[in-house]
Amino acid sequence: MPPTLVTAWDATAMAERLGAQPASTGVASDPDALLTGDFMRRLDQLDVLSRKILAGKLKGERRSKMRGQSVEFADYRQYVAGDDLRHIDWNLYARLDKLFLRLFMEEEDLALSVLLDVSKSMRYGQPDKLLCGKRLAAALAYIGLVNYNRVNVCAFADTIVGHLPNLRGRRPVPQVFDFLDGLQPASAAGDLAASARRFAMTVKGKGIVVLISDFLDKGDLASALRYLASDRYDVYVLQILSPQEIDPAANGLVGDLALRDLEDRQTTEVSITPALMKRYKATLEAFCQGIREQCMRRDMMYMLSDTSVPFEAMVLRYLRERGLLG
């Protein structure tokens, strides 16, 4: 046994017990299983927030620090040759005998991209990680759309396996729900670095990026995050784990077992002992802390969530406390 922990739990899939009942497919039976009407009405009061000022391509509902030509007055500045005469305040000129231009708050749209991991390791846990990820993606996309932001929804495994680009307004909401509801766990093992590279090449412009994954990937996390570490993106990283991964012994993993990695199918025989569980918890804590530190070095916001946390509390309280929603 390696000094870190058993291979099947180390960096991919946290293992599936051989001979046990098959894990959930992670596919919701209908779109109502993603978001209920009552919950969507509560989401109508929220908006996605950026820690940066990100210029959009179209007029939206978001105030910018830039001065522009919208309807809300911001300030004055003195007229200089070449300025648009239509913005001169002639009443002020009559009082001061000087030319001043009226300045207004520029309004800009905010692009929101939600990247959802659908690799095999997400098909694990009770509650199911993939279903939890779908619901989070649906909630975030819905909030972005009803606030008239541009929304991209991407599903990834070894690369981008599904993409709804440049959505805007309430009309595409059913399309997003149908897309997410129909996502199946991918047949290929996850490759976060390849997926992040593909996303950066495909989605142009600036915006908020929310990356939803368990991060149980044997690839190089640093390489993956480098593709998203840019002035173009304000990145929120949301790691999802199941209770069975956080505390296996407390959730039925006991005795002498053969564990199979969900992604590469490698099998390892282990004996679950208190000493092994202590090492496991230390390894898991170090694994999650490593992701947090990688994110902090790149000015990304890291969040860790347990699928047993009630979904509404996760969105309405946790994501608001972390500054993603307001």
Can you say whether residue 14 is alpha, beta or left, with left for phi > 0 and alpha for psi between -120 and 50 degrees? left
pLDDT at 9: 40
Q: Which residue has the higher pLDDT, 129 or 260?
A: 129
User: What's the start-to-end Cα distance of the chain, in Å?
Assistant: 47
Q: Given the DSSP bridges, would you call strands 233-241 and 207-213 parallel, antiparallel or unpaired?
A: parallel
Partners of 68 in beta bridges: 104
Residue 26 has pLDDT above 70, yes or no: no
CA angle, 255 then 258 then 264, to 5° = 145
Q: Which residue has the higher pLDDT, 283 or 65?
A: 283
What are the pLDDT digits (tens) for 120-158?
Answer: 999 988 989 999 999 999 999 999 999 889 999 999 999
What are the pLDDT digits (tens) for 202-222?
Answer: 988 889 999 999 999 888 899
Q: What is the pTM of this model?
A: 0.78
Residue 268 has pLDDT above 70, yes or no: yes
The Cα–Cα gap between 158 and 195 comes to 6
What are the pLDDT digits (tens) for 164-199?
Answer: 999 999 999 999 999 999 999 987 778 999 999 999
* 111, 207 contact by CB (below 8 A): yes
Residue 326 has pLDDT above 90, yes or no: no
pLDDT band at 61; cut points 50, 70, 90:
low
Residue 241 has pLDDT above 90, yes or no: yes
Residue 71 has pLDDT above 70, yes or no: no
- Work out the average pLDDT over 63-85: 60
Q: Which residue has the higher pLDDT, 306 or 262?
A: 306
CATH: 3.40.50.410, 1.10.1740.110, 3.40.50.150, 3.40.50.300. Which one for 7-54+109-321?
3.40.50.410
Domain ranges for the chain, please list them: 7-54+109-321, 65-108
